[in-house]
Amino acid sequence: MERPAWAPQGIDLSVPSVSRMYDYYLGGSHNFEVDRAAARRAIDLFPGLPKLAQANRAFMRRAVRYALDQGVHRFLDIGSGIPTFGNVHEIALAGEPGARVVYVDNDPVAVAHSRAVLAGEERAEIVAADFREPAALLEREPVRRLLEPGRPVALLLVALLHFFADEDKPGAHVAALRDALPPGSLLVLTHLTDDGPAGAGAITEVYRRGGATLVTRNAAEVARFFEGFELVEPGVVALPDWRPESPPAQEDPNVYSGYAGVGRTA
């Protein structure tokens, strides 16, 4: 298989990547045929996946603007994936030129492409680190600089936690990150669920065959990730129902296959 110029050396082009599959759902071009094949299998089982990805992205943009309105101008986006139009730094800097953004991902393609996108942008940077190792992640210099002034930070875990089974202790990792956040910080979180009418749980086997865990959780299970945070109204709700910026239209039922919420530290 020919390696595109933007693909880092050393990555296995025969194994699908969850971040490159997500890029495909969003209409991006930084994915390989192995990713597209796995993504198409997932879409065959759950045709609403692209719509769900778009709703997830739209929530993220609303949450970033909410953070800015609350005076939170620093953003730590873990599991940030491959940058596409309307990413965190674009939304944040459009609303507050003094905002600062640190992206974190463990996918070499996501990291390499992020570096290319962010070249020359001093207010945003990318760190190669793993959510499963919060202590090491927090010691990375860009993350330390973001947290050290003691100003509130918006921690984004958008479409990340459903890739970790309970035995991976995602709640403990969230708690470790929470304890490092300055007072008044925010947790911005989304998560896949099978509670919606569209049956999103059907795609878990596609991800498992590609070597990735994918876990759906209900509203109560998602809410537990906010332990130690005060939930912002309206709480943990379906993606389109979190502070919509326009009157709700007739929503595609597929977009109700994700939960969203924002919490604040004391």
pLDDT in tens, 53-81: 999 999 999 999 999 999 999 999 999 99
pTM of the model: 0.92
Cβ count near 191 (within 10 Å): 27
The verdict on residue 42 lying in a domain is: no
The verdict on residue 32 lying in a domain is: no
- For 254, list phi and psi in degrees, rounded to 5: -65, -30
Query: How many structural domains are present in the chain?
Result: 1
Query: Residue 114 is encoded by which pair of tokens?
Result: 């992020």
- Kindly indicate the confidence band of residue 198, based on its pLDDT and cuts at 50, 70 and 90: low
Residue 1 has pLDDT above 70, yes or no: no
Question: How does pLDDT run across 17-44, given as a tens digit for each residue?
Answer: 898 899 999 998 888 899 999 999 999 9
- In degrees, rounded to 5, the angle at the alpha carbon of residue 220 between the alpha carbons of residues 158 and 201 is 65
> Among 2-11, 32-41, 162-171, 257-266, which is the least confidently predicted range?
2-11
The verdict on residue 109 lying in a domain is: yes
Residue 248 has pLDDT above 70, yes or no: no
CATH of the domain at 238: 3.40.50.150
Nearest by Cα to 33 from 53, 13, 6: 13
What does each C-alpha distance from 259 to 42, 49, 188, 193, 235 come to in angstroms?
A: 19, 14, 11, 7, 10
**Residue 87's pLDDT is what?**
93
**Residue 93's pLDDT is what?**
97
The verdict on residue 230 lying in a domain is: yes
Residue 8 has pLDDT above 90, yes or no: no
- Kindly indicate the confidence band of residue 133, based on its pLDDT and cuts at 50, 70 and 90: very high
The verdict on residue 151 lying in a domain is: yes
Nearest by Cα to 155 from 131, 188, 123: 188
Residue 101: strand, helix, or coil: strand
The verdict on residue 40 lying in a domain is: no
Residue 124 has pLDDT above 90, yes or no: yes
**Residue 266's pLDDT is what?**
82
Q: Which domain holds residue 128?
A: 50-264
**Residue 141's pLDDT is what?**
97
The verdict on residue 25 lying in a domain is: no
